[in-house]
Chains A and B, each alone.
With several copies, the nearest count.
Chain A
């Protein structure tokens, strides 16, 4: 009964990411898309928040958003998604929570 969390706000609007991280259960996943992918930029303040994440939780990012913003996602253990993979993930988890 795991949940896939989707976040899309810039990490500078901090409550979306930090609230999501607080209520993450073991086995949940997070998809970063839109401006939220800025949190994956190595050396950013936001990237530090992500270090403490439970190891049972997987982190994903929408590839197009990472490419558009010239982010080197290799610095973090992040799986890049295209839309078919994004849809498959939504099926794989029991529910989806969009932190719009």
Chain B
């Protein structure tokens, strides 16, 4: 059975290429049909915000890559509710379907995967 990866994405979407490079790891796993889940945490939760306008920064829209995840078979998407809350985003709609998880569920997720990669 293939080994699984929990990718923890902690970078804000427009703070450099960190967030995009983390997503590329996920897309590559999908391309090889390997089991990978993503947990958006810390500033990474900002990647899921609706109504962002990266074109104001002449940046490529990360949301295209995010929307591509299910097509690549990456369907286990989680977002740390606590990290949304401290940013004043507790009830905001998300641009992508991701399960809102509490700390206990995150502990479980970590234990359920063979590898944890944080970027």
Q: Which residues of A contact B (CB under 8 A)?
A: 1, 3, 10, 12, 15, 19, 22-25, 34-35, 38, 41-45, 47, 63-65, 67-70, 95-100
Point out the residues of chain B lying under 8 angstroms from A97, CB to CB: 8, 110, 116, 118
Q: Are A47 and B88 in contact (CB under 8 A)?
A: yes
Contact with A along B102-119 (1 / 0, CB 8 A): 010011001101111111
Q: Which residue of A lies closest to B14 (CB)?
A: A68
Contact of A64 among B8, B15, B57, B82 (CB under 8 A): B57
Q: Are A98 and B111 in contact (CB under 8 A)?
A: no
Q: Which residue of B lies closest to A41 (CB)?
A: B88
Count A-B contacts at CB 8 Å: 89
Point out the residues of chain A lying under 8 angstroms from B55, CB to CB: 68
Given contacts A12-B42, A44-B87, A70-B49, contact A65 B110 (CB under 8 A): no
Query: Secondary structure of the A side of the interface?
Result: mixed
Point out the residues of chain B lying under 8 angstroms from A68, CB to CB: 14, 52-57, 59
Q: Which residues of B contact A (CB under 8 A)?
A: 8, 10, 12, 14-15, 41-43, 46, 49-57, 59, 82-83, 86-89, 103, 106-107, 110-111, 113-119
Q: Are B43 and A69 in contact (CB under 8 A)?
A: no
Q: Are A42 and B52 in contact (CB under 8 A)?
A: no
Point out the residues of chain B lying under 8 angstroms from A95, CB to CB: 110, 113-116
B36 to chain A, nearest CB (A): 14
What is the bound-complex CA distance between A25 and B87, given in angstroms?
Answer: 25
Given contacts A38-B12, A95-B114, contact A44 B86 (CB under 8 A): yes
